[in-house]
A and B are shown apart, each in its own frame.
Chain A
Amino acid sequence: MSAVIKPMITLKEICTEAERIRLTTQNSFGDKIVSDIYVNAEKIANRTITKNTSENPSLDSRLDDILTSRLFGFPIMLLLLSGIFWLTITGANIPSEMIGNVLFAFQDQLIIWFALAGAPDWLTGVLVLGMYRSLAWVISVMLPPMAIFFPLFTLLEDLGYLPRVAFNLDNMFKKCQACGKQILTMCMGFGCNAAGVVACRIIDSPRERLIAVLTNNFVPCNGRFPTLIAIATIFMGGVVTSEYETAVASLVVTLLVILGILITFAVSWALSHTILKGETSSLVLELPPYRKPQFGAILYRSIIDRTLFVLKRAIIMAAPAGAIIWILANVYIGELSLIRHLAAWLHPFAYAIGLDGFILLAFILGLPANEIVVPILLMSYLSSGQMLEFDTLNDLRNILIDQGWTWLTAVCALLFCLLHWPCTTTLLSAYKETGSKKWTFLTFLIPTTIGFAVCFTVAQLARLLGLA
């Protein structure tokens, strides 16, 4: 027999009672409770802790004197951050090439196996030349920079330096009604925009967090850097003698990054005054003591995490995209492949923004992963059935010029690469973080609209002035 004893009082009644009591004290119980807990904490601390602190300023204090000073604060910050970016870009070259060689050699092996198994051409095409090739590309391009950038960044975090960056720059963000911690999400965005979007969790205010998510794509990720560097080296570096080529290219890319940052501030400001208008932002930032980072553990964990991420993304996003791209390039309607048809259809629109149909199509097909934009472009230009790599920059230069690239095309391509829609992984992360289709759509729409607007303006202006 079960006797269900009815409680003599329900939870709801107790809540009402508590509400009544709380309101009689003008709702100050919350404060009192916290105060009281601290009184207890103080008592315990006084009885159990003895401090013999010296009067001399601690090492922490002296470090902060330098790292947050008017004179050295900003320069050191710029030096450290650009140092990491430079290390990432240059350090990734050789490993990328090595991984690429291994993976593409295996591709050739796969082709042989497929032939031996008597597989039809189209199957080899879709699976090996499409899916596997795309996967190999994404891994060889993305893995080394991620494996360098994120461990370095995590080291800075473990050191305790990153809050100082937010501390130094908060004022600029405050002027846009955003949070100083946004600079940290932007830095993460350099590594990978998807990681940058997830990093927005460190921002407490939901409104400011959204601003950071919506603007993260204005910072170019590791996947876009090879494209930017290649185009900048060919068209801007190519103007000067070869010894200054890299320097000029670096300058151009740096200017692009700065442009991206300026646009971030502008859009953050605009959002705060329009659709994301809300309560004024506030900042409560803990500046932890500097601590020696655990080098080994960090490097190990970070590299493993990033490797797994790149592999997962390659399999989920890049491989299927590769299959679709191969199909588009190898299915013909009449004389032309689907790609040529699509490019022709897009061309008038693309021309208006200083590009051509193939370039715009390459960006569109590169939605799953920015790394494959240039390979798709080359494939389309050369009517090859598979994505292509260029052997030397000279080769790429010749191909592009043959296809009618001018300085304007290069400029607009650079701008569009900086200012276009986020990749699918980033969009997916944005959806998970915001939980809203509307905000995810805006994450897509805002950079795209600005990209089109800027390129259109530049192209039309240049043509109007007779410069191109």
Chain B
Amino acid sequence: MSKFNREEHHRIMQKHFGIITTPGQFTVALAGNPNVGKSTVFNALTGLHQHTGNWPGKTVDNAQGSFTYLDSSFLMIDLPGTYSILAHTVEEQVARDFICFGKPDATLVVLDATCLERNLNLALQVMEITPHVIVCVNLMDEAIKKNITINISALQKELGVPVIPTAARNGKGLDSLRHALYEMSIGITHTTPRQIHYSPEVERAIQELTPKISRCIGNALNPRWVALRLLDGDSAFIDSITHYLDLENNRKELAV
């Protein structure tokens, strides 16, 4: 991101999400199902440098914490624990809006190694919104106790994004996590997030809509994902797009 873009980006962060970053600070969104040890990861990375509040205008918890790694400062924003971000509840909406429109430098999705299949639901959805995803497979110690083996490199190949195994409670894997977040934020990690294959009817409907969506909003958002939201009947999302993208359009006109 160019310097001008970064400043603009931080301004949007503050205005819409109430998040204040220091100059040059990278933002990391933390997502995950409830009960996966997301707070453990959050606490382990940010220690005491955190504060809690609410998302602006909503009765949903918001926790932010900071940490430094290799001379770079990171602001981690703990999103509400959600099973999905198809946005049928306020929590999901908050998470979705932040990942989508807040455009954090990296989105860390924490999964529970003992029920990976269900957790992958959220990971795949997040990967549809943004390519800057890191998957953290937490509770590896619990998985070992339950005789569950996960082939991390195979998982990484399947997903197309970095996958870091951790046992956050015991402090294991956290350094790799920090490093992965660092590399993603400074832009040296290239991801090829796995695209979800839908059934034929859905794919056909997507194909009908995506060209029109691209013409309308350019590459501001992943057109496939926007198509899916519209097909799902997500009216709140349409309001969100109008709101956030109009802002972008205004800015473009002012800049010229």
Contacts and interface: CB of A to CB of B under 8 A. Distances in A.
| A contacting B, Cβ–Cβ less than 8 Å | yes
Interface of A: 2, 4, 7-11, 13-15, 17-19, 21-22, 25, 27, 29-30, 32-42, 44-45, 47-54, 58, 160, 201, 204, 286, 288-289, 291, 294, 297, 301, 432-433, 435
B233 A37 contact: no
Contacts of A45: 116-117, 120
A8 B214 CA distance: 11
Contacts of B256: 2
A30 B86 CA distance: 9
B3 interface: no
Interface of B: 34-35, 40, 43, 54, 59-61, 84, 86, 89, 114, 116-118, 120-121, 124-125, 142, 146-151, 154-155, 158-159, 169, 194, 196-199, 201-202, 205, 208-209, 212-213, 215-217, 227-228, 230-233, 238, 241-242, 253, 256
Given A41-B121, A58-B146, A11 B238 contact: yes
B209 A33 contact: no
Given A51-B148, A297-B43, A21 B205 contact: yes
A26 to B, nearest CB: 12
Q: Report whether over half of chain B's contact residues are helix, strand or loop; otherwise say mixed.
A: helix
Nearest to A59: B145
Contacts, number: 145
A25 B201 contact: yes
B35 A286 contact: yes
B147 A33 contact: no
Contacts of A201: 59-61
9 contacts: A13-B212, A14-B212, A14-B213, A33-B228, A37-B124, A49-B116, A50-B148, A201-B61, A286-B35
A35 B84 CA distance: 13
A45 B124 CA distance: 12
Given A17-B209, A47-B158, A32 B201 contact: yes
B191 to A, nearest CB: 16
A287 to B, nearest CB: 10
Given A2-B256, A15-B238, A36-B199, A52 B233 contact: no
A18 B209 contact: yes
A217 B60 CA distance: 22
Contact of B169 (A33, A44, A48, A294): A294
Nearest to B216: A7
Nearest to A46: B117
B198 to A, nearest CB: 4
A435 B114 contact: no
A11 B241 contact: yes
B94 to A, nearest CB: 12
A48 B155 contact: yes
A194 to B, nearest CB: 14
A21 B215 contact: no
Contacts of B238: 11, 15
Nearest to B229: A18
Nearest to A160: B35
